[in-house]
Amino acid sequence: MLIGTIVDGIVIDHIPAGRGMELYGYLGLDKLNCEVALIKNAPSGKRGKKDILKINEVIDLNFDLLGYIDPHITVNIIRGGERVEKRHPDLPDEIRDVIRCKNPRCITSTEQEIQHIFKLTDRENRVYRCAYCDTRAK
Which are the contacts of 84, defined by CB distance < 8 A and separation ≥ 6?
A: 77, 78
What is the binding site for Zn ion (CB under 5 A)? 101, 103, 106, 130, 132-133, 135
CA distance 131 to 138: 14
Residue 24 binds: one of Zn ion, other proteins, none (C-beta under 5 to 8 A by kind): none
Nearest to 136 by CA among 96, 92, 102, 91: 102
Q: Which of residues 75-104 bind other proteins (CB under 8 A)?
A: 103
* Least distance (Å) between residue 103 CB and Zn ion: 5
* Least distance (Å) between residue 62 CB and Zn ion: 21
Stretch that binds other proteins, among 21-29, 53-61, 67-75, 128-136 (CB under 8 A): 128-136
Of 46, 105, 123, 138, which one interacts with other proteins (CB under 8 A)?
Answer: 105
Of 21, 58, 114, 120, which one interacts with other proteins (CB under 8 A)?
Answer: 114
Q: Which residues of 45-79 are buried (b: 16+ CB within 10 A; e: fewer)?
A: eeeeebbbbbbbebeebbbbbbbbbbeebbbbbbe
State the residues that interact with other proteins by CB under 8 A.
103, 105-114, 130-136
